[in-house]
């Protein structure tokens, strides 16, 4: 899959992740009455696992073994950065407006700020093929030619 295909796939996974996050956030905050910060933390954690697997398998077509140090931990670290930013914004929105739409919007802004950076991290570092720098298999989607 070329760069545009990966970007479209990443966008689709992101849309699904937003739907899961917003659904859990709304359920926890508006329906169950949990505090905004707790609701945000639970929503982000629930959505992060499926986001990792969908991006790895579907967008970057990785089926090899997972690497805890090269993939999983950096993915979670980036997710925690989004969690930190969104949690601060969610807390501020809850203090100011105390409304589900404001809390949901704050969550979206927090993760929206990091969206492009996450694509670059996944594409160039976490899920990059070992020979991606040489422009062979990863760039074309086919095995390199042997002469």
- H-helix segments, 55-129: 73-97, 100-121
Residues 44-70 pLDDT 10s: 999 999 999 999 999 999 999 999 999
- pTM of the predicted model, to two decimals? 0.83
- Domain total in the chain: 1
Task: Give ∠ CA 97-46-55 in degrees, rounded to 5.
Answer: 115
- Alpha carbon dihedral 107, 24, 117, 66, in 10-degree steps, equals 160
Per the domain annotation, does 142 fall within a domain? no
Residue-level pLDDT at 90: 97
Per the domain annotation, does 138 fall within a domain? no
pLDDT < 50 positions in the chain: 134-147
Per the domain annotation, does 14 fall within a domain? yes
Per the domain annotation, does 101 fall within a domain? yes
Helix (H), strand (E) counts: the chain: 5, 0
Residue-level pLDDT at 130: 75
Per the domain annotation, does 136 fall within a domain? no
**Domain extent for 52:** 3-130
DSSP 8-class letter at 133: G
Task: Give ∠ CA 145-146-147 in degrees, rounded to 5.
Answer: 120
């Amino acid at each position: 899959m070329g760069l545009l295909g990966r970007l479209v796939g990443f966008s689709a996974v992101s849309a699904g992740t937003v739907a899961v996050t917003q659904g859990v956030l709304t359920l926890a905050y508006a329906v169950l009455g949990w505090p905004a910060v707790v609701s945000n933390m639970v929503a982000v954690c629930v959505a992060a696992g499926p986001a990792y697997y969908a991006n790895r398998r579907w967008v970057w077509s990785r089926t090899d073994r997972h690497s805890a140090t090269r993939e999983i931990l950096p993915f979670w670290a980036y997710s925690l950065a989004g969690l930190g930013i969104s949690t601060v914004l969610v807390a501020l929105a809850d203090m100011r407006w105390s409304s589900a739409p404001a809390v949901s919007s704050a969550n979206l802004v927090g993760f929206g700020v990091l969206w492009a950076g996450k694509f670059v991290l996944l594409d160039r570092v976490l899920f990059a093929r070992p020979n991606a720098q040489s422009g062979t298999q990863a760039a074309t989607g086919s095995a390199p030619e042997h002469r």
